[in-house]
Amino acid sequence: MTAAYPALRLRRTRASAWSRSLHREIALSPADLIWPLFVTSGSGVEEPIASLPGVSRWCTAGIAARAREAAALGIPCVALFPNTPPGLRDPLGREALNPDNLMCRAVRAIRDAVGGDIGILTDVALDPYTSHGQDGLIDDAGYVLNDATSEVLVGQSLNQAAAGADIIAPSDMMDGRIGAIRSALEGADYHNVQIMSYAAKYASAFYGPFRDAVGSSGLLKGDKKTYQMDPGNAEEALREVALDLAEGADSVMVKPGLPYLDIVVRVKQRFEVPVFAYQVSGEYAMIEAAVAAGAADRDAMVLETLTSFKRAGCSGVLTYHAAHAARLLGA
C-alpha cells in the first residue's frame, strides 16, 4: 500500500543531505573492496602500466608495501597477478608449479610484512606462465585441453596454498577444476583455504590492459572463446555457478563487472551465496580515459560504479581503484 501524490512526494526524503544519508539503502565501505596487484621481478622496481594509467607492477617488497597500505585503509584482501619473466614461460606453464615463483614470493613477502591482517587471493590459471598466453595447455591445433590443464591447476593451487594463500581463485574456466582443487586442498589438510571461483567469466573485450600488465598480450594468438563464456548467455552463467558451488566453491565471481550486473543479480537471487564482481582492467581504463578527456569526475564515477555492484548484490568488488576508493570513503 502506498499513498499517491501529493500525499506522497518521493522528493521529501531527498531534500537534505542528512535525510538522504538516513534513507540510503546500501552504503559502500572499504571492507567491500579487493585490490588487484601486479607482481614483477627485481628489487626496488615499480613499472607503470601504460594502458592502466595509475597502476604499476611492483617487486615483491613493493607488493608488501601495497598490502600494508591496503590493511591501513581497511581493505580486507589483495589479489595477486604475476608478470613472469619471458625466459620462464613455456608451453606447459611449468613456472606455475615452482614453489619460489613470483606469486609465492609475493605471498610470503606480504605475510612477513602484514601477518594475518590481510587476506591474500591468488589467481589460478596458466596465462601468466605459458609462452602462448592461453590459460591452459594446448594441443597441436591450439585447442586448450580441459582435463590436462585441470591437473596442472591443482598443482598450482597446492603450490599457492603452501606459500600461504588464503583464497584460491581459479580464473581459467576449465570444467571440473573446482572439484579437483577442492579435493586436493582437503587431501593436503588445507581445510580453511577458500576457493573463490571465477564462475561466470565472459570472453570479453575488456581484458586488454590486464594482458599488458601480466605480459601475455604479445604472446596470445586468437581468443579465449572455447573456454570463456559467450556474452549473449545468462542461463549458462547460472549453470556454471551451480556446478562450481556443488564442487565446493565458497564464493563465486562474475566478470567483467558493469556490463554483467544482470548476471550478478540473477546469481544472487537464485543461489543466495557470496557473489563478487571484478571491475576489470578495461572498465578501469574507460573511467581513466573519460577523466583524461575532461568528460567525467573520477571520484564520483568510482564511487557510483562501485556502489552499483553492492546494490546489485555483491559481497565485494575487485577493483584497481580500491585504494583510491577507500581513501574517498574516509578510511
Please give the positions annotated as active site. 201, 255
207 touches ligand PBG (CB under 6 A): yes
149 touches ligand PBG (CB under 6 A): no
End-to-end Cα distance, the chain: 40
Near ligand PBG in 216-255, by CB under 6 A: 224
For ligand PBG, which residue of 30, 60, 121, 127 counts as binding (CB under 6 A)?
127
- Contacts of residue 239, Cβ cutoff 8 Å, sequence gap at least 6: none
178 touches ligand PBG (CB under 6 A): no
- 102-114 helix and 60-73 helix, angle to the nearest 10 degrees: 40
Cβ proximity to ligand PBG, 281 vs 305, nearer residue: 281
266, 198, 184: which is closest to 34 by C-alpha? 198
User: What stretch of H or E contains 233?
Assistant: none
- Contacts of residue 155, Cβ cutoff 8 Å, sequence gap at least 6: 96, 97
Binding span for ligand PBG by CB under 6 A among 99-107, 119-127, 150-158, 323-331: 119-127
Place of cell 605475510: 111
134 touches ligand PBG (CB under 6 A): no
Cβ proximity to ligand PBG, 113 vs 229, nearer residue: 229
Cβ proximity to ligand PBG, 190 vs 207, nearer residue: 207
For ligand PBG, which residue of 130, 171, 251, 305 counts as binding (CB under 6 A)?
171
123 touches ligand PBG (CB under 6 A): yes
* Distance separating alpha carbons of residues 54 and 125, to the nearest angstrom: 25
Cβ proximity to ligand PBG, 62 vs 128, nearer residue: 128
> Binding mask 70-99 vs ligand PBG (x if CB under 6 A, - otherwise)?
------------------------------
Q: How far is the CB of 115 from ligand PBG (least distance, A)?
A: 27
277 neighbors 260 (Cβ within 8 angstroms): yes
281 touches ligand PBG (CB under 6 A): yes
Binding span for ligand PBG by CB under 6 A among 8-16, 151-159, 206-214, 305-313: 206-214
Handedness of CA 273, 198, 230, 314 (dihedral sign): positive
- Per-position DSSP letters for 67-123, written without gaps between them: HHHHHHHT--EEEEEE---GGG-BTT-GGGG-TTSHHHHHHHHHHHHHTTSSEEEEE
135 touches ligand PBG (CB under 6 A): yes
Number of amino acids touching ligand PBG (CB under 6 A): 12
3-state secondary structure of 216: coil
Give contact residues for ligand PBG (rule: CB under 6 A). Answer: 123, 125, 127, 135, 171-172, 207, 210-211, 224, 280-281
